[in-house]
Chain A
Amino acid sequence: MRAKWAHISKNLWLTGALFPLAVMIFGFELLPIMGMLIDSFRTDDGNVWTLGQYITALKNPYYLVAIKNSLLISLLSSFIAIVVAAFVAYFITRLKPKSQEAVLTYVNLTANFAGVPLAFAYIIMLGNSGLFTILFQRWGLDIFSEFDLYSWSGLVLVYVYFQLPLAILLLYPIYFEIKEQWREAAHLLGASDMQFWLQVGLPVIMPGLVGTFSILFANAMGAYATAYALVGSNYNLLSVRIGALISGDVYARPHLASALAMLLALSLIAAMLTNEYMMRRIRRDLK
């Protein structure tokens, strides 16, 4: 009997020590998610259950365009970043191990440069009176006079910038799945570099490319600060719309914001799961 009491009191003590973490996770993670989920199925006045918010989100041309723009910029910026990173990351693996480490350290350090500071830096460089804008004008480079940082192409340019370091860091380890012996064997059997990459190299790293692409996609879908700092609420992106609906730039509609946020969250979770699945296929060292 005494042993049992000791057991129970010990468990109580242990559970008590876990209490602070449980409270924080419940209060600031689970409760808000549940609140948002419930809100998304309620009418604007919050009294009646409805699917209306989701219908608005998916039928109203305004929000539909926002979703489409977000998908487009995410796909495009991820695609450009992954193509460039596929080459650069491979080149890095060809350096001496010491240099590889140094290069990755610096790439890692630029990966932190995003959001408001990044948007500002691009305004300094390519804004209406930016350094390069003036430089190009001086040199009479008319091709660049058409460029507008505060438009679609400007936004893509900035998105690509913050996607590239992440893409390199994600792709770099994947190249180590291609064993040096395979390349030698292929060459001994008479394969050219091209043939090796097309028939051995690419198929091996393909799951890694797809997984990385999905992470980049999520990264761009969820981005807000960069776009907001650059174009304010003017550009129609999903994350910007959600922001406008809760902060009341026009007028607040938290229930519709909840439905849009749920849709965004679903797309992110889908991207994360794709990455998990793909990484399991390529990285046999992970369980």
Chain B
Amino acid sequence: MKEKRTLHRFAIALMFLYLFMPLIATFLYSIATDWYDTVLPKGLTLSWYVKLFQDVRFVAALGRTLFACSVAVGLNIAVMVVSLFIVSLYLPKLERFLQAFAMLPYAIPGVIGAVGLIKVYSSGPLAISGTVWLLIGAYFVVILPYTYQGTRNSMRTVDLPQLVSAAELLGASKPKAFFKVVLPNILPGVMVSALLSFSVLFGEFVLTNFLVGGYYETVQIYLMRRMRESGHLSSAVVISYYLFVFCLSWIALKLGQNFKNGNSDNLRGKKYELPHYR
């Protein structure tokens, strides 16, 4: 039995080595001065990161990414919380439609979505192609499954109808019940899905490239354009990007575990992961 456990640990360690190898290699490359004909880098430096964050073009790209992602996530969460609140309290018949439309984007990878969006928005009365507004609209749809599931699950966990009628019994009006009772209770769960959505959008390349590519350079587009020019600089982009997403997902995971009282059942009981289509 003990022998087997060692084998299991060894296999898992091997898997981690495999999974983290690209990150380790990229990280080493991003702090290497010169590294092209030697086994190990000739020297170590942080100058690539300094250079990167002094690059006006990169900082601008970062700003654009943060802007588009924040607006899309903020708008989506606000609209989703209000809509799900109303649907689950007053219009439960609509719940099935809402679910169907909210989950549909799972079957639409960026390359399919781009075909339709370009068709509708590149000409005619709604010609907004090449603008950030089209991108925000597209992002809004991409994260629908995450925000829908996150918001709905937190509303189920707090038993929304019960909570609202309890608040009303104690004399709160509906809006007051929503802002003072419901919102604080579902906030941790909603935050988790917001962070998750943010990290998904932060890594979005396909829709961005097709819809606004040349006009609105995000971090992903910046990386794609510069990766053949400077390996070290691009490594710094990749590591910075990954650290950021790493932190977001880590906070989301921890927040999610606390929210569900931190038992290991939450990973087991999770319905299932679905594809990201990268």
What residues of chain A have their CB less than 8 Å away from a CB belonging to chain B? 14, 17-18, 20-21, 24-25, 27-36, 39, 84, 87-88, 91-92, 94-95, 97-98, 100-101, 103-118, 120-125, 129, 131-132, 134-135, 138, 161-162, 164-166, 168-170, 172-173, 176, 215-216, 218-219, 222-226, 228-229, 239, 242-243, 246-247, 254, 257-258, 261, 264-265, 268-269, 272, 275, 279, 285-286
Give chain B nearest CB distance to A286 CB in angstroms.
7
Contact indicator B119/A254 (Cβ below 8 Å) = yes
Q: Is the CB of B116 closer than 8 A to any CB of chain A?
A: yes
* Residue in A closest to B35 when the chains form the complex, CB atoms: A131
Which chain B residues numbered 224 to 278 have a C-beta less than 8 Å away from chain A?
Answer: 224, 227, 231, 234-235, 238, 241-242, 245-246, 249-250, 253, 257, 264, 267-278
Q: Is the CB of B132 closer than 8 A to any CB of chain A?
A: no
Which chain B residues numbered 81 to 115 have a C-beta less than 8 Å away from chain A?
Answer: 82-83, 86-87, 90-91, 94, 101, 104-115
Residues of B near A34 (CB, < 8 A) are 116
Contact indicator A265/B274 (Cβ below 8 Å) = no
Contact indicator B115/A261 (Cβ below 8 Å) = yes
Contact indicator A123/B227 (Cβ below 8 Å) = yes
Task: A175 to B101: give the CA distance in the assembly, Å.
Answer: 31
| 6 nearest A-B pairs in the assembled complex, by CB-CB distance | A32-B116, A222-B109, A114-B278, A219-B275, A121-B22, A115-B278
Q: Is the CB of B65 closer than 8 A to any CB of chain A?
A: no
Contact indicator B118/A246 (Cβ below 8 Å) = yes
Contact indicator B119/A32 (Cβ below 8 Å) = yes
Give chain A nearest CB distance to B24 CB in angstroms.
9
Residues of A near B114 (CB, < 8 A) are 243, 246
Task: A29 to B144: give the CA distance in the assembly, Å.
Answer: 10
Contact indicator A226/B253 (Cβ below 8 Å) = no
Residues of B near A84 (CB, < 8 A) are 15
Task: A94 to B12: give the CA distance in the assembly, Å.
Answer: 11
State which of B4, B5, B21, B275 has its C-beta within 8 Å of the C-beta of A215. Answer: B275
Contact with A along B183-214 (1 / 0, CB 8 A): 00000000000000001000101100110000
Q: Is the CB of B8 closer than 8 A to any CB of chain A?
A: yes
Contact indicator A224/B227 (Cβ below 8 Å) = no
* Residue in A closest to B138 when the chains form the complex, CB atoms: A28
Task: A32 to B16: give the CA distance in the assembly, Å.
Answer: 41
Give chain A nearest CB distance to B78 CB in angstroms.
8
Scoring A166, A170, A216, A225 by chain B CB atoms within 10 A of each residue's CB, the highest score goes to: A225
Q: Is the CB of B169 closer than 8 A to any CB of chain A?
A: no
Q: Is the interface of B mostly helix, strand, loop or mixed?
A: helix
State which of A113, A123, A132, A246 has its C-beta within 8 Å of the C-beta of B115. Answer: A246
Contact indicator A224/B109 (Cβ below 8 Å) = yes
Contact indicator A107/B19 (Cβ below 8 Å) = yes
* Residue in A closest to B114 when the chains form the complex, CB atoms: A246
State which of B5, B206, B223, B268 has its C-beta within 8 Å of the C-beta of A94. Answer: B5
Residues of A near B104 (CB, < 8 A) are 29
State which of B36, B140, B249, B269 has its C-beta within 8 Å of the C-beta of A134. Answer: B36
Contact indicator B117/A113 (Cβ below 8 Å) = no
Task: A202 to B95: give the CA distance in the assembly, Å.
Answer: 37
Contact with A along B1-29 (1 / 0, CB 8 A): 00011011101100110111111011011
Q: A18-B83, A32-B113, A254-B119 known; 19 other A-B pairs, CB under 8 Å?
A: A14-B91, A25-B101, A32-B120, A91-B8, A94-B4, A100-B264, A112-B242, A116-B223, A117-B223, A120-B238, A121-B23, A121-B25, A124-B25, A124-B29, A219-B276, A223-B277, A229-B205, A229-B224, A279-B272
Contact indicator A110/B19 (Cβ below 8 Å) = yes
State which of B8, B106, B115, B242 has its C-beta within 8 Å of the C-beta of A95. Answer: B8
Question: What are 16 sample pairs from A and B whose C-beta atoms fall under 8 A apart?
Answer: A33-B116, A36-B119, A91-B7, A94-B5, A109-B250, A112-B249, A117-B26, A120-B227, A124-B26, A125-B25, A170-B273, A225-B220, A261-B112, A265-B112, A272-B107, A285-B269
Contact indicator A162/B26 (Cβ below 8 Å) = no
Residues of A near B170 (CB, < 8 A) are none
Task: A33 to B241: give the CA distance in the assembly, Å.
Answer: 32
Task: A120 to B229: give the CA distance in the assembly, Å.
Answer: 12
* Residue in A closest to B41 when the chains form the complex, CB atoms: A131
Q: Is the CB of B181 closer than 8 A to any CB of chain A?
A: no
Q: Is the CB of B56 closer than 8 A to any CB of chain A?
A: no
Q: Is the CB of B161 closer than 8 A to any CB of chain A?
A: no
Give chain A nearest CB distance to B125 CB in angstroms.
12
